[in-house]
Amino acid sequence: MENNVNKSVCFFDSGIGGLNLLSKCVGIMPRTDFTYFADNYRVPYGAMSKDELIERADQIFGEIEKLSPSAAVVACNTVTAQCIDYLRGKYSFEILGIQPAVKPAIADGGRCLVLATPATAESASLKQLIDKLGARNITVAACDKLAAYIEKNIGNFDTKEVKAMLPRFKAESVVLGCTHYIFVKEIIKDFYNCPVYDGIDGTATNLKRILGISDHPSSRAQKISFIGGDEAKNRRVFGMLLKQSGSLSRL
């Protein structure tokens, strides 16, 4: 019997960034129900201290625990970098995080630039990832205003304003270390004129593998719920992402 019926997964992000990952997972896991926890009114997380991040993430995960999920996904690079070990140590359900896609980026060779929030850029987690891969010629740059700009201006980006927030650097590859940055991926790609990587596909595939979900379509309606933050905004942006991917809205 297939282990892919009635699965439920909770997502958590500071705001709209994690919706990029949610929309990907919804598309490849039609038998799974999803609940998205957001904290839009406290964006950006990248400026918070580790203690502040752990306190807030713990509050959210206390609510997630009440839903008895099959798994939970920290769809925020900052919370993954600073809090994932704490959360896994406290909660008994499966918890996945999202990491910058450094591995495929360094396969291209040459200079690699990782764009991240200040909290992610300064984290031991990112340093350990780079060291583990034996990656050389990598520069990590903190973009302290970009996530907040994206959250505030979703759907109305000014290309010049976005590019003004990016560090000038000659790169052969760029890694997006924040799920918010994916919304301006094409602007970043144009600015650096090189391949740009994010961790969406890898994280979604890993979640599907852990849950043991097959590719068979579902005959029942998929449930997508939104809790916390600006729920109306999150629904609207999620619907926009589904439309862009060619999926039917499940809201």
More confident: 3 or 172 = 172
Q: State residue 249's pLDDT score.
A: 43
Annotation says 194 is catalytic: no
Q: State residue 4's pLDDT score.
A: 45
Q: State residue 1's pLDDT score.
A: 37
More confident: 14 or 136 = 14
As a whole number, the mean pLDDT across the chain is: 92
| Residue range 23-80, pLDDT digits in tens | 999 999 988 999 999 999 999 999 899 999 999 999 999 999 999 999 999 999 999 9
Annotation says 143 is catalytic: no
| Residue range 127-165, pLDDT digits in tens | 999 999 987 899 999 999 999 999 999 999 999 999 999
3-state SS assignment for residue 82:
helix
Q: State residue 89's pLDDT score.
A: 98
Distances (CA, A) of 214 to 27, 28, 88, 249: 13, 9, 26, 22
Catalytic residue among 76, 83, 143, 194: 76
> Looking at residues 90-99, what average pLDDT do you find?
97
DSSP secondary structure string for all residues of 118-175 = HHHHT-HHHHHHHHHTT--SEEEEE-TTHHHHHHHHTT---HHHHHHTSPP---SEEE
Q: State residue 215's pLDDT score.
A: 65
| Residue range 196-214, pLDDT digits in tens | 999 999 999 999 999 998 7
Q: State residue 245's pLDDT score.
A: 66
3-state SS assignment for residue 85:
helix
Answer yes or no: is pLDDT of 223 > 90: yes
Catalytic residue among 83, 112, 143, 178: 178
Q: Percentage of the chain surpassing pLDDT 90?
A: 84
Q: State residue 69's pLDDT score.
A: 97
Could you give all domains of the chain from N- to C-terminal order, each with its CATH number? 7-99+201-245 (3.40.50.1860), 102-198 (3.40.50.1860)
- Claim: this prediction has a pTM higher than 0.75: yes
